[in-house]
Amino acid sequence: MVRVLGVDPGTKSFDLAVVEDGRVVWEYSIETGRVARDPRSLLDAIREAGRVDAIAGPSGYGVPVTESRDVVDPRRFAVEVLLLSREEDIEEGVRRGDPGIMVYKALAEAVVELCRDESRRTIFIPGVVHLPTVRPGAKYNRVDLGTADKLAVTALAVYQLHRGDPARADLMVLEMGYGYNALMVVESGRVTWGLGGTSLAPGMLTAGPLDLEAVVMGGSWVRSDVFHGGVMEACGTLDPGEAAGRARSMGGECGEAYESMMEQIATVIAGIHARTGISRLVVSGRLTGLKSVIDDLASRLPGSIAVEVLQPLEGASRTKHAAHGYALVVEGLLGGSASGVVERMRIRDACGTALDHALHPRLAEARRRLQEAYRASVRNPRLCGGPA
């Protein structure tokens, strides 16, 4: 049997889960801040997992299926390709003390360590934007249609509900995490559309999509601004449960921010339901632990939409959905129990970069830099339309 360790780099914690034959057989959670301060702590935890056939590495915004042995410049690969950032972006965020930027720092350090470890096989996976099954119109001037962990959660949902015949899977997957919300649409077992954490709606941490007029008026922006303007900031707390409670009791900006998050998510879901007829909504992520949040969302949706919480894999007790999904994707790529789901989703056929469809002239230089970084940091890059 294939045995894979999934590593999910969450805003609050790195979750590690070993999956074998569709079951979690080992799991561990470590604070993201600790990984950022001491990347070796992640490797120490990985060693405790014992023998694995492969590691599903933390993949950020995603990359076409890539093995660590093919990464020739791990630091550039991590910072520029997986995180769509620059070294100065991370340094500035750390100086500002932004909790969200610690994920970037920790992920970059972890990727470098995993790529240096020649004794282990690490595989990095795509984001939604890399999939050939996603409608071209959904990619126009979009970057975040769902990061790698959101694609992993979607694969988990298809596996949990339709592993016997993934072609029958027609559903929406809503990930509600500590920082971000994302929505993926699955039709006949394939992802056809998505809006990621900075595109769907405000999140608990992030402001989400911004009016271009607001962007212009805001002047110069930096990477760590992505981690501000969310519900928790409006409510004066970094605890999502406390923020939801204050939104109901306090009103004001806190209540308005919470309402904005719920209203925008519900509006998009209702629109997809009207267009596609998909009536099954599966919710995953940290916020599924807050029943009041799920009830608030359901109350805003048409009654014809069935809302359910995604169940973790059998054997799990402390790790989140994304870690299980990461492991399942790589397990499927290696011919394990999720192979039918992974092949149906055409994850192996992912190609290109997250900026290939960014056509606004202001993004031309960023697009060129990312494509150059991808070519330079990976042996045999998988560009759309042919080899490099």
pLDDT in tens, 275-329: 999 999 999 999 999 999 999 999 999 999 999 999 999 999 999 999 999 999 9
- Each domain of the chain, given as residue ranges in start order, spans 3-377
Is there a contact between 55 and 123 (Cβ–Cβ < 8 Å)? Answer: yes
pTM for the predicted model, two decimal places: 0.95
**Which tokens go with 1?**
């049997």
Task: Report the pLDDT averaged over residues 376-380.
Answer: 96
Mean pLDDT of 188-207: 96
Homologous superfamily of 3-377 in CATH? Answer: ATPase, nucleotide binding domain (3.30.420.40)
Determine the residue type at 28: Y
Output the pLDDT for position 49. 94
Q: Is the pLDDT of residue 93 over 90?
A: no
Helix or strand or coil: residue 87?
Answer: helix
Q: Average pLDDT for residues 95-105, to the nearest whole number?
A: 81
Tokens, residue 303: 């009654």
Q: Report which secondary-structure segment, H or E, holds 296.
A: helix 291-299
